[in-house]
Amino acid sequence: MSRRRLKRGLFISLEGGEGLGKSTQAANVTAHLREEYESVVLTREPGGTWIGGKIREITHYEPSLAKEAELLLMAADRAQHVSELVRPALETGQIVLCDRYFDSTLAYQGGGRGWPVETLLWLHRIATDGLLPDITFVFQGTPHVEKDGDRFERSGDGFHERVARVYATMDGSVSWPNPERFRAVNANRPPEEITAELMRHIADFLAGRE
């Protein structure tokens, strides 16, 4: 059976705190979608491009990085990512799954580091011309933080509590851009059950487009 290609690309992001299974689900959903659709791209932020990989080495592992530099590097990664990979894929009818996108900036740099939402939205418009996902799955649960992990994981319990509070508001609230795209996901379940739920949401969205 030949696989399908969408007339219009589909942009999906997966969001949530540390250790909630996002990356596992991104891989699972990608595998399922590739059985039916011709072109499915799995990517991540930061690090979805060669330049992004270099940025990730700094943002995640450079202990002396200032919060101002962190914010601007995240915006630079996203600008390159959207220009080089995400937007061209969407324009040719591909499905793009991204492990973290702009909502991670709202949670980590906004909630975690204290940057105002207005500043983050302004940077996002510059970096991407305001591109947002069609569907954003927000994984809800207690983060599992590795104390000897990267810079973000080592930022302390208070930091992760602030990040979690921001993610808890991403449930269709009018506080965030295009709130209708959010789908809250209970991460405290077997992986196969979560994958099935995500696939149902995606199928319903695509059926609503036809």
Q: Is residue 5 part of a domain?
A: no
CATH number, residue 95: 3.40.50.300
Please report which residue ranges of 42-129 form alpha helices under DSSP H. Answer: 50-61, 67-81, 87-91, 102-104, 117-128
Q: Is residue 3 part of a domain?
A: no
Give the residue numbers spanning the domain of 26.
10-209
Q: Is residue 119 part of a domain?
A: yes
Q: What is the pLDDT of residue 1?
A: 57
CA-CA distance, 36 to 120, in Å (whole number)? 36
Which SS3 state, helix, strand or coil, does residue 78 take? helix
Q: Is residue 2 part of a domain?
A: no
Q: Is residue 118 part of a domain?
A: yes
With a CB cutoff of 8 Å and minimum separation 6, the contacts of 170 are 15, 103, 136, 138, 176, 179, 182, 184
Q: What is the pLDDT of residue 174?
A: 64
Structural domains counted in the chain: 1
Cβ–Cβ < 8 Å for 21, 194: yes
Q: What is the pLDDT of residue 144?
A: 80
CA-CA distance, 79 to 82, in Å (whole number)? 5
Q: Is residue 98 part of a domain?
A: yes
Q: Is residue 27 part of a domain?
A: yes
Q: Is residue 64 part of a domain?
A: yes
Q: Which residues of the chain are modeled with pLDDT < 50?
A: none
pLDDT in tens, 45-92: 999 999 999 999 999 999 999 999 999 999 999 999 999 999 999 999
